[in-house]
């Protein structure tokens, strides 16, 4: 079953370096999946584009934005001449505008930059976390790490006890097939027999699905001695250890072994992932078979 989308990736930009890097990721993905790209700049409704803004200044700012957009598109087309790139300027609360447009217009995905918890840029700061929480489509959050010439070669796929956690597998397979990736299935070892048996069952189910789809994968249990911290911190440690190109998580709450993390897992991963990009999937958007992601 294919998602009903318009095969278009939404790429917010505030013209910062990290936003430019996010565009680089989008271009590579669009080239592989034959997507179109829409570059969007949102002027916060509390700024000069507010209700009582000066119209002359507003026109000058919009003209400057258009020029910057045209420059980005020209640079992008010089590298990827066959990709169709659109541009648009919108006004309002940044995270709401991004999420609402992506859903209302059936965008395939959102790819955007973030500077993490302390980010100060207009779009690439705290708005990325809010987009993740509100968006119904997958969000790839990019920091400093550019996408490699071969795309996402090492995908880290954390598995826990929640049903939602295993819904990432479909998306991982689709990316892995396009980029010839190796999927790193990781889980936390437990000393409690009941928990151990349940997590083994979840991991075995994941392995079966990956094998049936001829995906390349390895499985790694994270031992307490080497990985003594929370699952989020251990996931990041493992990703850094293997030089991961992408971490794939659910954006909504994921269940730990004895408690619900209430979204803190996703927030920790996004805010503290260092340079590794993170793909965040909303648990409500999981009825997709293998041709659902990125077209």
Alpha helices in 107-263 (DSSP H): 127-134, 163-166, 168-179, 193-212, 231-242
Where is the domain boundary, 142, 172, 204?
A: 142
Q: Provide the token pair at 75.
A: 């640079």
Q: Is 13 found in the same domain as 130?
A: yes
Residue 1 belongs to a domain: no
Q: Is 129 found in the same domain as 85?
A: yes
Residue 93 belongs to a domain: yes
Between these two residues, 114 and 208, which has the higher pLDDT value? 208
Residue 162 belongs to a domain: yes
Q: Is 21 found in the same domain as 118?
A: yes
Where is the domain boundary, 91, 110, 142?
A: 142
CATH code, domain carrying 246: 3.40.50.620
Which pLDDT band holds residue 55 (cuts at 50, 70, 90)?
Answer: low
Q: Is the dihedral of CA 7, 13, 18, 21 positive or negative?
A: positive
Mean pLDDT over each residue of the chain, to the nearest integer:
82
Number of CB atoms found within 10 A of residue 113's CB: 30
- The set of residues, in sequence order, having a beta carbon less than 8 Å from that of 293 and lying 6+ positions away, is 108, 109, 138, 171, 174, 175
Domain holding 249, by residue range, is: 154-281
Query: pLDDT, tens digit, for every residue of 221-272?
Result: 999 889 998 888 999 999 999 999 999 998 754 444 433 333 567 777 887 7
- The set of residues, in sequence order, having a beta carbon less than 8 Å from that of 88 and lying 6+ positions away, is 38, 39, 40, 41
Q: Provide the token pair at 156.
A: 């880290």
- The set of residues, in sequence order, having a beta carbon less than 8 Å from that of 75 and lying 6+ positions away, is none
3-state class (DSSP) for residue 169: helix
For residue 67, is pLDDT > 70?
yes
Where is the domain boundary, 115, 142, 169?
A: 142
Q: Provide the token pair at 23.
A: 């565009």
Query: pLDDT, tens digit, for every residue of 40-51?
Result: 999 876 554 554
Residue 290 belongs to a domain: no
- The set of residues, in sequence order, having a beta carbon less than 8 Å from that of 215 and lying 6+ positions away, is 172, 173, 176, 177, 183
Residue 287 belongs to a domain: no
Query: pLDDT, tens digit, for every residue of 114-141?
Result: 864 443 344 555 677 788 888 889 999 9
Q: Is the dihedral of CA 171, 174, 177, 178 positive or negative?
A: negative
């Amino acid at each position: 079953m294919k998602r009903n989308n318009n095969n278009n990736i939404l790429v917010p930009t505030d013209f910062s370096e990290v936003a430019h890097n996010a565009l680089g990721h989008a271009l590579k993905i669009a080239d592989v999946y034959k997507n179109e790209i829409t570059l969007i700049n949102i002027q916060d409704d509390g700024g000069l584009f507010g209700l009582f803004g000066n119209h002359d200044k507003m026109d000058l700012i919009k003209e400057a934005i258009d020029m910057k957009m045209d420059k980005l598109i020209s640079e992008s087309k010089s590298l990827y001449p066959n990709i169709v790139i659109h541009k648009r300027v919108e006004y309002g609360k940044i995270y709401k505008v991004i999420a609402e447009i992506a859903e209302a217009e059936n965008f395939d995905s959102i790819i955007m930059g973030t500077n993490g918890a302390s980010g100060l840029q207009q779009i690439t700061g705290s708005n990325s976390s809010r987009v993740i929480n509100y968006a119904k489509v997958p969000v790839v959050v990019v920091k400093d790490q550019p996408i490699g010439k071969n795309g996402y070669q090492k995908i880290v796929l954390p598995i826990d006890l929640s049903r939602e956690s295993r819904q990432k597998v479909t998306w991982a397979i689709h990316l892995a097939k396009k980029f010839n990736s190796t999927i790193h299935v990781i889980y936390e070892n437990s000393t409690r027999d009941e928990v151990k048996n349940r997590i083994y069952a979840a991991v075995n189910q994941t392995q079966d699905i990956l094998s049936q789809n001829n995906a390349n994968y390895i499985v790694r249990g994270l031992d307490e001695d080497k990985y003594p911290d929370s699952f989020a911190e251990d996931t990041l440690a493992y990703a850094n250890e293997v030089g991961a190109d992408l971490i794939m998580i659910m954006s909504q709450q994921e269940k730990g072994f004895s408690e619900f993390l209430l979204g803190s897992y996703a927030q920790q991963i996004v805010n503290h992932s260092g340079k590794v990009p993170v793909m965040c999937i909303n648990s409500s958007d999981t009825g997709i078979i293998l041709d659902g992601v990125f077209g």
